[in-house]
Amino acid sequence: DTAVSQTPKYLVTQMGNDKSIKCEQNLGHDTMYWYKQDSKKFLKIMFSYNNKELIINETVPNRFSPKSPDKAHLNLHINSLELGDSAVYFCASSQQFREQYFGPGTRLTVT
Amino acid sequence: LAKTTQPISMDSYEGQEVNITCSHNNIATNDYITWYQQFPSQGPRFIIQGYKTKVTNEVASLFIPADRKSSTLSLPRVSLSDTAVYYCLVGGSMMRNRDDKIIFGKGTRLHILP
């Protein structure tokens, strides 16, 4: 059983489109995260939700909007995609901000 | 902000012990130190976490001096499959407000040679 899953694994889209990435964890954790890893491999946190409440909201464009329908899901919606949004996006989960378990990543390519 | 500094890359040979040091001069009282391993095209994987002194598990040891301004990940008897990027992360385990931060270091590329 996959602990943290993301869909889709690959996403190729054109500038200006709106897309969503879904994340689900079956670990019973109360905290979930979204990270962006760019071409230089820097791993930067974007958002964190604890018990469905937004805890961390780093400086990201407001085109990015996380949505947590329940503790097991944290989806990322991106409006008006730009070339600079191309990256690998990782979802992760943890219990009370302890060690994080990462998903396999979603490689987003904006053309 | 407890920023971290790690060597950009390291080479070692199979069977050797590898030590990777992370500096975190501004570590806060409630910050834990966590290390992750990342293979290409995969998400980071938790290795070990500690607060002070020494922590050991089945894959690694983590040494943290008394001032907690640095930490050293020790991998015993590495193999080729340990070639990966290793990240040092400093952050609170009980964050309750948006001033708490999660900051990954830039990672250390460890290359194990036969």
- In angstroms, rounded to a whole number, what is the distance separating the alpha carbons of residues A94 and A102? 9
In this structure, are strands B9-13 and B61-64 parallel, antiparallel, or unpaired? unpaired
- In angstroms, rounded to a whole number, what is the distance separating the alpha carbons of residues A96 and A90? 19
- In angstroms, rounded to a whole number, what is the distance separating the alpha carbons of residues A90 and A108? 11
Can you spell out the DSSP letters for B89-104?
A: EEEESS--STT--EEE
Percentage of chain B lying above the pLDDT 70 cut: 88
Quick one: average pLDDT of B24-51?
91
Instruction: Give the tens place of pLDDT for each residue, A9-38.
Output: 999 999 999 999 999 999 999 999 999 998
Interface test with A, best of B102, B103, B104, B108 (most A CBs within 10 A): B102
Instruction: Give the tens place of pLDDT for each residue, A46-72.
Output: 988 888 788 777 778 899 999 999 989
Which chain A residues are within 8 Å of B92, Cβ to Cβ? 97
Which chain B residue's Cα is nearest to A102? B43
| Token representation of residue A74 | 């944290």
Closest CB from B44, B93, B106 relative to A96: B93
B73 CB-contact burial (10 Å; exposed 0-12 / middle 13-18 / buried 19+):
buried
> What pLDDT, on a 0 to 100 scale, did the predictor assign at position B98?
46
